[in-house]
Amino acid sequence: MKTSKQELERRMSHFKDVCRNAELKLTRQRLEIFREVAQTGDHPDADGVHRRVRKRIPTVSLDTVYRTLWLLKDLGLITTLGFHHNRSRFDANLVDHHHFVCIRCGSTQDFYSNEFDALRLTETLKSIGSVEAVNVEVRGVCRKCRSKRTK
């Protein structure tokens, strides 16, 4: 699901604010790299971001993409999610949400659930440590993959 124009603009503007506040330079690379992650509904890896940003900035290098993505993570502008095929993947959706991961093709879709968000933390859990985030990962086979091999 692609990000709406409105939401994208909100994210871009927040991104600029945070950069200015942190006295970070607003380079064309940073703008395009963030826009790419903020714009897409899937959860691209560094190489995917690089490939797409290169369409706008043909000379951008993969290491700049990596440096920028980790920087964005440090700034709290994006998060990382579980790997697939040994690659980190990035997500600019900061609203509480959960993931459906297809065990065949690895595609990940966001979904929302009041019930999942309302999960109470058990006593056992509290004794393990202090909780920062609860994320539900649902694994299964997505529609596309199901229709491919329906036996």
Partner DNA sequence: GTTTATGCAAAACCTTTGCATTTTG
Partner DNA sequence: CAAAATGCAAAGGTTTTGCATAAAC
The footprint of a copy of itself (CB under 8 A) covers 82-83, 86, 88, 100, 102-103, 109, 111-113, 115-116, 119-122, 124-125, 127-143, 145-146
Contact at 8 Å (CB) between 113 and 124?
Answer: no
Task: Using the rule CB under 7 A, give the single segment among 2-10, 79-87, 106-114, 131-139 that binds DNA.
Answer: 79-87
Whole-angstrom distance, CA of residue 151 vs CA of residue 149: 6
Q: Which of positions 87-116 make contact with DNA (CB under 7 A)? A: 87-88
Q: What is the token pair recorded at 52?
A: 């797409």
- Using the rule CB under 7 A, is 35 a contact of DNA? no
**Of 26 and 112, CB closest to a copy of itself:** 112
Q: Is residue 126 a contact point for DNA (CB under 7 A)? A: no
Is residue 78 close enough to count as binding DNA by CB under 7 A?
Answer: no
Residue 75 binds DNA, judged by CB under 7 A: no
User: Please, which residues have CB within 8 angstroms of residue 97's CB and are 6 or more apart in sequence?
Assistant: 110, 111, 112
CA atoms within 13 A on the CB side of 13: 6
Residues listed for the chain: 151
